[in-house]
Structure 1
Amino acid sequence: MFDYLIVGAGFSGSVLAERLASQKNKKILIVDKRNHIGGNAYDYYNEHGILIHKYGPHWFHTNDRKVFEYLSAFTAWRYHYHRVQSYVDGMLVPFPINRDTLNMLYGLDLSSPAAVQAYYDEVKANINNPADAEEMVISQVGEALYNKFFKGYTLKQWEIHPRDLAASVTARIPVRTNRDDRYFTDTYQGMPKHGYTAMFQRMLSHPNISVMQQTDYRELLQTVPYRKMIYTGPIDSFFDYKFGKLPYRSLRFEHETFDQEFHQPCQQVNYPNEYDFTRIVEWKHATGQKSHLTTITREYALDAGDDLERYYPIPRAINHDLFNKYKAEAAQLDNVLFCGRLADYKYYNMDQVVARALMIAEKELKDQ
């Protein structure tokens, strides 16, 4: 008899398994349909010995000290600031947009945050309450910069015009008046020193945790006894799509290895306009790995079909209305908890996933 059957061995499922096993001596069976643990954060060494992320880049960053200290029990860190450049007008410029971006693009000599803000004030649209992703950007930096950096990238990423997406899509990206070229400004930033997979292996090493891979949890429901389920998969799948399928965007990856130390100047270059792919990632910039070879990954966005992984919930009101129907169904179940990006139909950052899993674990521990 297991105390918990946990569906999904990504961040949500693994954190909950570890907490319930180590803090309350609960017996856990964690099941995943894939042939590995770690969910979308899974990383591995490719045939050239380069550590890469199978499901796209995962750059850890957080201001939540509790989350950082929790994960630090299972990994050392390579502290590293995530830097992004964008290929615009035939040149690589810092992104998010900052003072250097404007000076490089337009041959300006803006020398202070006040001068940069004055430039933004001159070109931005006067929109007090942006209603969509397009209005959010042009209300901050104007239409020209929106067209250069945001419109094409958003169309490729979502295949939906920015004016038909929630303002939150572009509100996530800061606009800077200084020269700070870090993508994130969080207190804690870096990569697990030996990779995410090694961190998950330590997290799930408790003797009370059993792991089954390449297994559909439905195959176990009639044969494996358990007291409570924690479900981290797609909530619409759990209910057999009774209200219809929730739409997601998926990704396709194209890897290439070069016989050189580095291929590009930073770990991520965005391509907002000229190319079919959205970005190129070069892993060694982030991992610090030493090799005379380097691997890059080009990323293409596409709709998630039946045979494709689901990555990004699509932030539109009609989709959230559909999710709320499933959420209401979930609320009627006494012995199933739902947690995670797919179960909550929400685009969480990694630290938000961990924080939510820790919160649910604390509640479970108190209720025992």
Structure 2
Amino acid sequence: MKKYLIIGSGFSGAVIAEQLSKDPNNKIVVIDERDHIGGNCYTERDKDSNVMIHKYGPHIFNTDNKEVWDYIQQFCEMVPFVNRVKSIYNGQVFSLPINLHTINQFFGKTFNPEEAKVFIDSIADKSINEPRNFEEQAMKFIGKDLYNAFFYGYTKKQWGCEPTELPASILKRLPVRFNYNDNYYANPFQGIPKDGYTAIFENLLAAKNIEVRLNTKFDSSWDLTEYEHVFYSGPIDAFFDYKYGRLSYRTVTFEKHSAEGDYQGNPVINYADPEVPYTRVHEHKHFTPWEEHEKTVYFKEFSKETEEQDVPYYPKRLKEDMEIFEKYENEANTLSNISFVGRLATYRYMDMHHVIAEALNVVKKNK
């Protein structure tokens, strides 16, 4: 019998465990320091309203990877869902991502697609050839006015620093559409699990040769020699006891509110004005439009720097962070029986479908 240790029960750990469990000769131990499985994708019913809550913030599954889409649907019924995000700026509600309706509303125009392309090209900052940072990346594409309205204040609140300090890579895609498509995502496969995300993890970890130990924090002093292989999905700096220093992350906190009826009529509304302290409000009954609820629950989301007791969410990846990470990565590469997987262990931003695809590939390499 081969014994495996998986540290973390989010999508990385759960998918790896499920794949390894197919061999009855494997014994898989999954540990998690929290009191529940599922990592930041954990969902639960609100006791008062019975609304399905995304406890650590909204998760809409979307991918262009059919293998991942087919894989996840083995463990849930995925209901089609289109995320239509709105943004409030200067007392008006706009549609995101920036599209033809946003442009026409913002500038008081009635452009057709070609006219809008010519107009945006005329206001884009052509002096920027190679964007050096987030701000220049946005200014090169959409110009000063749209950048200030929809990106500057929101980004500063989200990341806790001036956008000029952030790498251009954060804003990878052209943030504008020249049609009226207000689907927040461009991927062909989009949905939300009918019974919530926690049910997916229960199904992924259901095999008899998987043992789940909650409220169990990994310690670097553990003897790992009894395991054929270890898969680690926690923060990489924590694994090495922060010997080269702490990597910086942003985390989010939520202020919960309950009400009767419908609070905002939409799942997610961003607040782009810098003087509004929160980044967005999400109302969770709208993530399950196939359900009916008389009461509602919504959350104001605040972004802050991650402190020792906080849950890390978004790797900042500033220049000094990447220098520290390189040291951890080099040491990690010397460990033949440990794989570092997922957002925290590889210190990069990954959506759910990226994490699942990585986990499936990692198992193939280490079987």
Q: Give the TM-score of the pair, scaled to structure 2.
A: 0.96
Structure 2 runs not aligned, ≥5 long = none
For residue 4 of structure 1, give the secondary structure of its aligned residue in structure 2.
strand
Residue 360 of structure 2 is matched in structure 1 by: 358
Residue 34 of structure 1 is matched in structure 2 by: 34
Q: How does 1:178-217 map to 2 (within 5 A)?
A: 178-217=179-218
For residue 241 of structure 2, give the secondary structure of its aligned residue in structure 1.
coil
* Paired letter, 2:366: E
Distance 1:172 1:47 in 2: 40
2:75 is aligned with 1:74: yes
2:244 is aligned with 1:243: yes
* Paired letter, 2:189: Y
Cα contact 2:134–2:164 (8 A) shared by 1: yes
Distance 1:224 1:331 in 2: 17
How far has the Cα of 1:2 moved from its partner? 5.7
Q: How does 1:287-366 map to 2 (within 5 A)?
A: 287-288=288-289, 289-365=291-367
Q: Could you say what the CA RMSD is over the residues aligned between the two structures, in angstroms?
A: 1.6
2:117 is aligned with 1:117: yes
State the Cα deviation string for residues 93-131 of structure 1 (Å, max 9, x = none): 101111111222222111x21111011011110122211
* Paired letter, 1:52: I
2:37 is aligned with 1:43: no
For residue 190 of structure 1, give the secondary structure of its aligned residue in structure 2.
strand
Q: How does 1:138-287 map to 2 (within 5 A)?
A: 138-172=139-173, 174-218=175-219, 221-222=222-223, 225-260=226-261, 262-273=262-273, 274-287=275-288
* Paired letter, 2:177: R
How far has the Cα of 1:295 moved from its partner? 1.0
Distance 1:44 1:302 in 2: 24
* Paired letter, 2:347: Y
Residue 128 of structure 1 is matched in structure 2 by: 129
Q: Give the TM-score of the pair, scaled to structure 1.
A: 0.95
Residue 8 of structure 1 is matched in structure 2 by: 8
Distance 1:187 1:100 in 2: 22
Distance 1:200 1:301 in 2: 27
How far has the Cα of 1:218 moved from its partner? 2.4
Structure 1 runs not aligned, ≥5 long = none
Cα contact 2:32–2:213 (8 A) shared by 1: yes
Say if 1:173 and 1:77 are closer, same or farther in 2 by CA, change over 3 A.
farther
For residue 229 of structure 2, give the secondary structure of its aligned residue in structure 1.
strand
Cα contact 1:62–1:188 (8 A) shared by 2: yes
Distance 1:2 1:257 in 2: 49
How far has the Cα of 1:225 moved from its partner? 3.7
Q: Which moved more, 1:316-325 or 1:195-204?
A: 316-325
Distance 1:236 1:342 in 2: 9
* Paired letter, 1:196: Y
Query: How many residue pairs align between the two structures?
Result: 363
Q: Runs in 1 of length 4+ with deviation above 2 angstroms?
A: 170-174, 217-227
* Paired letter, 1:290: E
Distance 1:161 1:223 in 2: 43
Distance 1:79 1:23 in 2: 33
* Paired letter, 1:150: F
